[in-house]
Amino acid sequence: MAAARRALLEVLKGATLSPPPVWLMRQAGRYLPEYRETRAKAGSFLSLCYSPDLATEVTLQPIRRYGFDAAILFSDILVIPDALKRNVHFVEGSGPRMDPIEEAGIFALEQAGVLDHLTPVMQAVRQIRAALPDETTLLGFCGAPWTVATYMIAGHGTSDQAPARLFGYRQPEAFAHLLAVLAELSADYLVAQIDAGADAVQIFDSWAGVLGEAEFETYAIEPVARIIRSVKARRPQARIIAFAKGAGMNLRHYRQKTGADMIGLDWSVPLSFAAELQKDGPVQGNLDPMRVVAGGAALDEGVDRILEALGQGPLVFNLGHGITPDADPQHVTRLVDRVRGVRNGG
């Protein structure tokens, strides 16, 4: 029996499909009542991430409901700092917290045992792949070193990542070491996910948009390129998506310099520029998540514009960032139907 076609993987290899495959960042999350019910059973957020059975359940929920072309492992970009014993925890309503790291702590980071700590994540990957429909692509992921480092330096999220930017200017050797450690561990982590059953992986650089041109090269491009080189040296068939949110014109050469197979685009990327980027290979994105909240004509128009601008080339339809908790699940149904050619009234 022939293997099922995994549409997203075909696009990652350069194919143009009509309709394009569709999945949404944070498609398993608080906007879904079934997620909220499972989350309540888990206790802490990290307990949910580290329970293979519960992580499998929440990963599968949006697949059951919407039939997306890809599932993405339910986890968090901060599991590596957690494995590095940085006391990661999540405060309801205000996000992640951890012990801020300083220069001495960076050079004292102990890398041994990190993958052992993440064994439950690999078990979840195996369980998810076994439970998914054959045609559904399974995506693994990690946080990009720059974005993970911003949380490690400040100990929490900030609006402009000034603590990490200042640290990079004042203590460049320590910051370079931190990025190198995170790149090495992230590559190992992605290889482990691929070996456990992930079909492709995505690298999330959620805070790339605060960087100037020179810093983008040093903090965003070089560490991600290091990850991709390392993964592909060990797993030559690996397919990798790189998403640098807010990168703007810095995306012009991002694919070439990082070695990514596909680049994700946030909603601020003009579709004319996205079409230029698509000439060099597959793109993913880039609907404004607020259009999903709005629904109706705003949602339909946003979907149609992306399909018109990018549908004649290799495209994976997605949001320009994660779906928000206030999104109506019925609006997501409308989005999927519209991408797949089912038109709705109103």
Q: Could you say which of 35, 66, 69, 76 is catalytic?
A: 76
Of the candidates 6, 31, 35, 39, the residue annotated as catalytic is: 39
User: Torsions phi, psi of 125, nearest 5?
Assistant: -60, -45
What is the distance, to the nearest Å, from the Cα of residue 75 to the centroid of all Cα atoms in its chain? Answer: 10
User: What are residue 237's phi and psi, to 5 degrees?
Assistant: -85, 0
How many whole angstroms separate alpha carbon 70 and alpha carbon 22? Answer: 7
Catalytic annotation present for 65: no
Instruction: Let me know if 151 is a catalytic residue.
Output: yes
Is residue 66 part of the annotated active site? The answer reads no
Residue 5 known to be catalytic: no
Q: Is residue 71 within 8 Å of residue 128, measured between CB atoms? A: yes
Is 129 considered catalytic here?
A: no
Say which of 26, 86, 226, 338 is annotated catalytic. 26
User: What does the block give as tokens for 259?
Assistant: 């070695």
Strand order from edge to edge, sheet including 200-205: 70-72, 137-143, 200-205, 240-244, 262-264, 283-287, 315-319
In sequence order, which residues have a C-beta less than 8 Å from that of residue 110 and are 6 or more positions away? Answer: 84, 85
Task: Count Cα atoms within 13 angstroms, Cβ side, for 299.
Answer: 25
Angle at 158 between CA 157 and CA 164, to 5 degrees: 90
What is residue 59's DSSP assignment? Answer: H
Calculated CA dihedral for residues 293, 296, 301, 304, nearest 10 degrees: 90
Contacts of 239 (CB under 8 A, 6+ apart): 9, 12, 13, 199, 200, 201, 261, 262
Choosing from 31, 35, 151, 219, which is the catalytic residue?
151
- Which residues are marked as active site? 26, 30, 39, 76, 151
